[in-house]
Amino acid sequence: MRKQYFIVAAAILLLIGSCSGGSKERSSEDSTGNAISEAVDNTGDAYGTKMLSKEDFLAKVMNYEKNPTEWVFEGDKPCLIDFYADWCAPCRITSPILEELAQEYGNKIDFYKIDTEKERELAAVFGIQSIPSFLFVPMEGKPTMSSGIARTEEETKQMFRNQIDQLLLQ
């Protein structure tokens, strides 16, 4: 019996470890010639999805501590926020799709990711009960929440394109 628990625990740890993407680090020089390092998203591209912490969310999307009863968008362009977890299989399916769409839409929309395991307060603020969940935030008006994915990759891409075009780029 103990052996079975050990095998199950080991399998879970291996699964969690294999699902962790991790970020890359890029080195460059600042104006004084000193070497600096910065974390970059897994694509390293300018238009990839970006991770959001609570502090980033308050500065770039909505400061719900300053405005607890009213939606006041802090961003300079519409955004799509992916609430996900590393262990979630549908979340891992949507991740490359969102990366592709971030490239496709370029600088028209910001694409963000929030890890619900690390940012539990943000997940609670938006009542995230199932993942993946997506928050479509237009420049004006209130955001729209959507969850789940379609049956195929192409249907999922088209679903996102339709929602982006209808909710964010009108």
Summarised one tens digit per residue, pLDDT across range 108-167 is 999 999 999 999 999 999 999 999 999 999 999 999 999 988 889 999 999 999 999 999
Question: Would residue 133 count as lying in a domain?
Answer: yes
Average pLDDT over residues 20-33: 38
Residue 17: is its pLDDT beyond 70? Answer: no
**What's the domain range around 109?**
43-168
Average pLDDT over residues 18-23: 36
- Is 79 noted as a catalytic residue in this protein? no
In the set 79, 81, 91, 168, the catalytic residue is: 91
- Judge whether 68 and 56 are in contact, CB under 8 Å: no
Q: How many domains does the chain have?
A: 1
State the pTM of this model.
0.72
Question: Would residue 137 count as lying in a domain?
Answer: yes
pLDDT at res. 40: 37
Report the candidate in 95, 94, 110 with the shortest Cα–Cα distance to residue 52: 110
Placement of tokens 């103990």 in the chain? 2
- What CATH number has the domain bearing residue 64? 3.40.30.10
Report the candidate in 104, 109, 143 with the shortest Cα–Cα distance to residue 126: 143
In the set 80, 81, 88, 164, the catalytic residue is: 88
> In whole angstroms, what is the distance from residue 14 CA to residue 120 CA?
23
Neighbours of 164 (CB within 10 A): 19
What token pair was written down for 161? 């394109």
